């Protein structure tokens, strides 16, 4: 399914609404504009399997580009517009983009790029004139395209994940995301889905596509603000939304009277993913919204997935659920399968490999189990319990080994997630001559909280009362802001480099 299906049935229905401005794109408009852009791309010489790159903030044109690609057998690469010109240039070159569409707010960044593409269109400039001049005749064939997205780069240079193109037409059922998540979370024609995250990230981009494939309305926030999100839920009678744990934390830190002043009773499903959610944070969200909070664990690589609803989570607090796609395998460093409760690398067993890293066969090979070609990992550590529920402990790259003992930074970070003096925290391991590594915390104090020795003493005492002393950070460093991606993932490499450099 695709917007053309719904343009024929409900042409005037809003396909997309901008939460702040109210700017609306109907299904008829989304269908026609994505069709015209598909003609523009074909006339520029793009053929099935080619790539169109998108450098854009949250705006309706992002989905015109998305659907133009998907109805043309093209890949769409949405690029993080917060990156430097050098980083964006790398992605555009690496994905082999033959066309680049740029939002007007990103034209200065685009001007600095060192890339060579056949077609560059700037929204509200050449983009609009190109669409106006393009044909609106139906395409003779509409092979299904896909996304070629890049990882957030929290543990190194971004990696392009290139799946094989679906062997279906765009108006045929079978595309993985509507098929899997549409039924799981009850998406349909009556869905009003609030998307508060950047559209260049995998989950927001793909879930918006799910909404359009199934005929609902996508409400896209220009940028996330906790109170604005509640305002949008009430204004648009939102039924579904997807957030990341940092958004939950910011919602919970709103004054209680502010939270209570908004009507959120229209919500039927609140999904979260992208990063581990502290147990106390999730429990409070369930108490607030009711047992409608759902979680899935997956990756841009889409090599496997788990899911869990509120009822199951309350019985297995901290779990990310049971298998949704693939079979969970927990393995030691030598590849041996581990039993319940034993921490190891999380693999998913599939019938065949589902992804490869674009232009990087060595990295692709590194994700494979040493004995099983169809078992792959993205580097997360975790364990399963006796009931088959998966618990994540951390990324393998972030684990600290101090005095021969494994320390998982996520546990320490979760401890401080709702501390009133802490807005954000990142825990890393740094070299130590005696212990191998020692635990160091970077903290963004809450507004009005003074950084200094008194706060260090307070945070140290708080931790020593609640976790083993060897896990307590030996140093606290204070920053005005920590380097999270807009989707909530901490870019710890920057902090580690900063510490080592200093």
Q: Find out whether 347 and 377 touch, Cβ atoms under 8 Å.
A: yes
Plot region of 124 (φ>0 → left; ψ -120 to 50 → alpha; else → beta)? left
349 sits in which H/E element:
strand 344-349
Mean pLDDT to the nearest integer, 252-268: 96
Pick the residue with more confidence: 1 or 129?
129
Give ranges for CATH 2.30.38.10 in the chain: 325-398
pLDDT (0 to 100) of residue 319 = 96
The two structure tokens encoding residue 341? 């409760």
Q: What is the pLDDT of residues 18-58, one digit of tens each?
A: 999 999 999 999 999 999 999 999 999 999 999 999 999 99
Helix, strand, coil in percent for the chain, rounding step 5: 35, 25, 40
Give exposure, 377-407, as e/b (b: 16+ Cβ within 10 Å). bbebbbbbeeeebbbbbbbbebbbebeeeeb
Higher pLDDT, 14 or 157: 14
pLDDT of residue 324: 92
3-state class (DSSP) for residue 321: strand
Q: Is the pLDDT confidence value at 405 over 90?
A: no
- Give the CATH H-level superfamily of domain 3-219: ANL, N-terminal domain (3.40.50.12780)
Q: Which helix (H) or strand (E) holds 328?
A: strand 327-331
User: Could you tell me which residues are beta bridge partners of residue 25?
Assistant: 16
Q: How confident is the model at residue 379 (pLDDT cuts 50, 70, 90)?
A: confident
Residues of the chain with CATH 3.30.300.30: 401-501
Please report which residue ranges of 71-106 form alpha helices under DSSP H: 85-95
Question: What tokens were used for 17?
Answer: 């609404």
φ, ψ dihedrals at 64, nearest 5°? -65, -40
**Mean pLDDT across the stretch 191-203?**
94
According to DSSP, the residues that pair with 121 across neighbouring strands are: 101
Mean pLDDT, rounded, for 376-400: 88
CA distance 440 to 428: 5
Q: Give all strands (DSSP E) within 33-147, no chain letters.
A: 51-55, 75-79, 99-102, 119-122, 146-147
| Residue entry with tokens 């003779």 | 140
Alpha carbons within 13 angstroms on the beta-carbon side of residue 290 total: 7
Work out the average pLDDT over 442-447: 95
- The per-residue pLDDT for 152 is 66
Q: Does the structure show a pLDDT above 80 at 369?
A: yes
Q: Which pLDDT does position 351 carry in this prediction? A: 87
Region 325-398: CATH code: 2.30.38.10
Kindly state the tokens that stand for 288.
């607030």
Q: The domain at 401-501 falls in which architecture?
A: 2-Layer Sandwich (3.30)
Can you tell me the distance from the alpha carbon of 407 to that of 412, in angstroms, rounded to the nearest whole number?
9
Phi, psi dihedrals of residue 395, rounded to the nearest 5°: -75, 145
Q: Above 80 in pLDDT, residue 356?
A: yes
Percentage with pLDDT > 90 across the chain: 74
How far, CA to CA in Å, does 272 sit from each of 179, 251, 387?
19, 13, 22
If one counts every other C-beta atom within 10 angstroms of the C-beta of residue 112, the result is 11
What's the pLDDT at 375? 95
Stretch 155-178: mean pLDDT: 88
d(CA 160, CA 312): 34
Number of helices and strands in the chain (H, E): 18, 26
pLDDT band at 67 (very low <50, low <70, confident <90, very high): very high
**What's the rounded Cα separation, in Å, for the pair 181 and 195?**
15
Q: Residue 12's pLDDT is what?
A: 98
Q: What is the pTM of this model?
A: 0.84
Decide: helix, strand or coil at residue 305. Answer: strand
Contacts of 456 (CB under 8 A, 6+ apart): 476
Instruction: Work out the end-to-end distance of the chain between its first and last CA atoms, rounded to an integer number of angstroms.
Output: 54
**Mean pLDDT to the nearest integer, 422-443:** 89
Domain with CATH 3.40.50.12780 in the chain: 3-219
pLDDT for the residue numbered 104: 94
What is the predicted pLDDT for the residue at 277? 86
Alpha-carbon span 499 to 502, nearest angstrom: 5
- pLDDT tens, residue by residue, 303-328: 999 999 999 999 999 999 999 999 99
Helix (H, G, I), strand (E, B) or coil at 437: strand
DSSP 3-state assignment of 432?
strand
Are the C-beta atoms of residues 144 and 213 closer than 8 Å to each other?
no
pLDDT at position 252 is: 94
Does residue 307 contact residue 321 with C-beta atoms inside 8 Å?
yes
């Amino acid at each position: 399914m695709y917007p053309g299906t719904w343009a024929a049935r409900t042409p005037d229905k809003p396909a997309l609404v901008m939460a702040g401005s109210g700017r609306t794109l109907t299904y008829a408009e989304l269908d026609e504009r994505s069709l015209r852009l598909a003609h523009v791309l074909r006339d520029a010489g793009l053929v099935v399997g080619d790539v169109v790159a998108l450098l854009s903030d949250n705006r309706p044109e992002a989905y015109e580009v998305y659907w133009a690609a998907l109805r043309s057998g093209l890949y769409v690469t949405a690029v993080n517009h917060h990156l430097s010109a050098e980083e964006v240039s790398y992605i555009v070159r690496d994905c082999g983009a033959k066309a680049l569409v740029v939002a007007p707010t990103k034209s200065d960044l685009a001007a600095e790029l060192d890339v060579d593409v056949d077609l560059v269109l700037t929204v509200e400039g050449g983009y609009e004139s190109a669409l106006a001049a393009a044909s609106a005749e139906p395409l003779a064939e509409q092979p299904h395209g896909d996304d070629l997205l890049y990882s957030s780069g929290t543990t190194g240079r971004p990696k392009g994940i290139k799946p094989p193109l679906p062997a279906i037409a765009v108006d045929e059922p079978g595309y993985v995301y509507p098929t899997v998540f549409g039924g799981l979370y009850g998406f349909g024609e009556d869905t009003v889905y609030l998307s508060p995250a950047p559209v260049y990230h995998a989950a927001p981009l793909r879930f918006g596509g799910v909404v359009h494939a199934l005929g609902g309305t996508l409400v896209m926030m220009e940028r996330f603000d906790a109170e604005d999100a509640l305002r949008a839920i009430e204004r648009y009678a939102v039924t579904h939304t997807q957030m990341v744990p940092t958004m939950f934390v910011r919602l919970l830190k709103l004054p209680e009277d502010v939270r209570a002043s908004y009507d959120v009773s229209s919500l039927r499903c609140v999904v979260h993913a992208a990063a581990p959610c502290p147990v106390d944070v999730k429990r409070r969200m369930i108490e607030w919204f009711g047992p409608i909070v759902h979680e899935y664990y997956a990756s841009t690589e889409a090599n496997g997935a788990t899911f869990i609803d509120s009822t199951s989570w309350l019985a297995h607090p901290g779990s990310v659920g049971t298998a949704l796609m693939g079979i969970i395998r927990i393995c030691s460093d030598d590849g041996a399968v581990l039993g319940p409760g034993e921490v190891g690398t999380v693999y998913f067993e599939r019938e065949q490999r589902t992804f490869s890293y674009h232009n990087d066969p060595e990295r692709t090979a590194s994700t494979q189990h040493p004995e099983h070609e169809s078992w792959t990992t993205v580097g997360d550590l975790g364990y399963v319990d006796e009931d088959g529920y998966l618990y994540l402990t951390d990324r393998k790259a972030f684990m600290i080994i101090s005095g021969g003992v494994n320390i998982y930074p996520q546990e320490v970070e979760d401890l401080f997630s709702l501390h009133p003096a802490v807005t954000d925290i990142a825990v890393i391991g740094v070299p130590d001559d005696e212990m191998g590594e020692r635990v160091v915390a970077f903290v963004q104090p809450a507004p009005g909280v003074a950084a200094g020795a008194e706060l260090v003493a307070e945070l140290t005492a708080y931790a020593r009362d609640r976790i083993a002393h060897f896990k307590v950070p030996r140093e606290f460093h204070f920053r005005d802001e920590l380097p999270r991606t807009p989707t909530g993932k901490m870019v710890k490499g920057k902090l580690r480099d900063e510490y080592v450099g200093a």
